[in-house]
Structure 1
Amino acid sequence: MATQLTRQIDALKKRILTLSALVEENLRRAFTAIETRDPELAAEVVDSDFPIDLMEVDIEEECLRTLALYQPVAGDLRFLVTTIKVNTTLERLGDLAVNIAARARRLAEMEEVVVPFDSAGMAAKTQRMITTSLDALVRGDSELARTVLMADDEIDDLDRELTAALHDAVCARPEWLDPVLLLLQVSRYTERIADHATAIAEDVIYMVDGEIPRHSVKRAVAEAMGIVSGDTPKT
């Protein structure tokens, strides 16, 4: 039974890695389509989403089947729970790639908006967060995952800076309103991608260390507010 469970987990690791690679590639192409104003590349992103959806469903069903058949405990159980959560997150990332690609197709038909902001750099940093969180998953490296948590605030700051730059641009050039609104949506999608990278990193920390980071943060805030004491048993 233990050998069969090990084989099943190894197979699931390969499948989640395959899905990760597909999603990463679609995100890369979506951001490239925005940067190069390439509607054909954007269309490829949209067409590539269906296989991602199918794989996400297959992986979830396989995880649930493994839980039912082998009733794993400890590390194996945490791995399966983490895989189910990461699997769902990857599907959502795939949807965000499609959303960005759809905006790229529309932007390609409009006048290009020029703002003093490195939007490509923001996209690259977000993609690095995704890559790092997935590398942490593959390696089972919670310390690497924690670096992703620290990077999220930077993307939030960049999102605010881009919003301000786009606001200034449309005030100076009101005829840019439509493309600016699309770029604002892309900025929001980029920020959500960073949030999903953070979620994957938190899942990795749980898988490796058995710790739920957001619970630790809430507890620290509660202790600072005097709601609970440092001696209160952790749940």
Structure 2
Amino acid sequence: MRVRFHQSLGDLKEKLLVMAGLAEQSIERAVEAFRTRDLSLCAQIDASEAEINRYEREIDQMALDLLAMEQPMAIDLRFILSVIKINSDVERVGDSAVNIIERVRELQAFAPVDMPVDIPRMASLATDMVRRAIQAFIEGDAEAAQKVLALDDAVDKLNRSAYFSLLNVMREQPHQTLQALNTLVIARSLERVADHATNIAEDVVFWIRGADVRHYVAPAVVDGTGAERV
């Protein structure tokens, strides 16, 4: 019975990895569609979205069946609970790709124009976070997952910079407002991808260590003068 149970856990993990690969590919294709305005890539993402949604339903059902029939304890229970949460975040990464191609389709109505935002750089950082978080999940490596959490600040910084830069475009070049707004939504979607990668990494830490690291704040440190430093 235990052999069969652990085989089921392996099947659950494998299915989630396939789904994660599809979601990561969708983000990469969405950013390429933005860069090249290739609508054929948008169609591919639509097809992948349907497949990702199917995987999400199947994974949730498999996980719930294992919880109901096997009543796992300790680390196996945390693994299944983490899979359920990671499954949701991976599906939302796919949703972010769809949000991006919706904006790409909107931009087709306008002549290409350079915006003061490094979308490829944001995408590279966000997808790297997803890749690292999933690799930490594959290897059951809480330390690697913990390192992913520190990467989110760089994407947040780029997103804030994009907001202010595009706000200036809208003020100074109002005829480009719609292009700027669409680009802003794309930047925001990539920032959300990084957030989902952070969630996945947190769930890996929970699975392996049983520790909840959400909303972690570094403790204050008291220096030699008795003053607190954060």
TM-score, normalized by the shorter chain, greater than 0.5: yes
Deviation at 1:219, TM superposition (A): 9.2
Q: Unpaired runs of 5+ in structure 1?
A: 225-235
Q: Is the CA contact (8 Å cut-off) linking 1:38 and 1:105 kept in structure 2?
A: no
Deviation at 1:145, TM superposition (A): 0.8
Structure 1 partner of 2:120 = 120
Aligned ranges for residues 143-182 of structure 1 at < 5 Å?
Answer: 143-182=143-182
- Supply the distance in 1 between the matched residues of 2:4 and 2:70 (Cα, whole angstroms): 9
Structure 1 partner of 2:213 = 213
Structure 2 partner of 1:199 = 199
Structure 1 partner of 2:137 = 137
Aligned ranges for residues 8-87 of structure 1 at < 5 Å?
Answer: 8-87=8-87
Query: Could you give the per-residue CA deviations for residues 154-177 of structure 1, whole angstroms, max 9, x where no partner exists?
Result: 111100111122122223321101
- Supply the distance in 2 between the matched residues of 1:49 and 1:27 (Cα, whole angstroms): 11
SS, match of residue 214 in structure 1: coil
- Supply the distance in 1 between the matched residues of 2:116 and 2:214 (Cα, whole angstroms): 35
- Supply the distance in 2 between the matched residues of 1:162 and 1:136 (Cα, whole angstroms): 30
- Supply the distance in 1 between the matched residues of 2:106 and 2:43 (Cα, whole angstroms): 11
Query: Could you give the per-residue CA deviations for residues 117-157 of structure 1, whole angstroms, max 9, x where no partner exists?
Result: 32211111111011111111111111111111001111111
Q: Is the CA contact (8 Å cut-off) linking 1:33 and 1:39 kept in structure 2?
A: yes
Q: Is the CA contact (8 Å cut-off) linking 2:31 and 2:119 kept in structure 1?
A: no
- Supply the distance in 2 between the matched residues of 1:163 and 1:9 (Cα, whole angstroms): 43
- Supply the distance in 2 between the matched residues of 1:23 and 1:214 (Cα, whole angstroms): 23
Paired residue type of 1:142: A
TM-score w.r.t. the length of structure 1 is 0.89
Structure 2 partner of 1:229 = none
TM-score w.r.t. the length of structure 2 is 0.91
Q: Is the CA contact (8 Å cut-off) linking 1:134 and 1:200 kept in structure 2?
A: yes
- Supply the distance in 1 between the matched residues of 2:111 and 2:156 (Cα, whole angstroms): 27
Deviation at 1:4, TM superposition (A): 1.3
Q: Unpaired runs of 5+ in structure 2?
A: 223-230
Note the aligned Cα RMSD (angstroms): 1.8
SS, match of residue 115 in structure 1: coil
- Supply the distance in 2 between the matched residues of 1:73 and 1:220 (Cα, whole angstroms): 32
SS, match of residue 213 in structure 1: coil
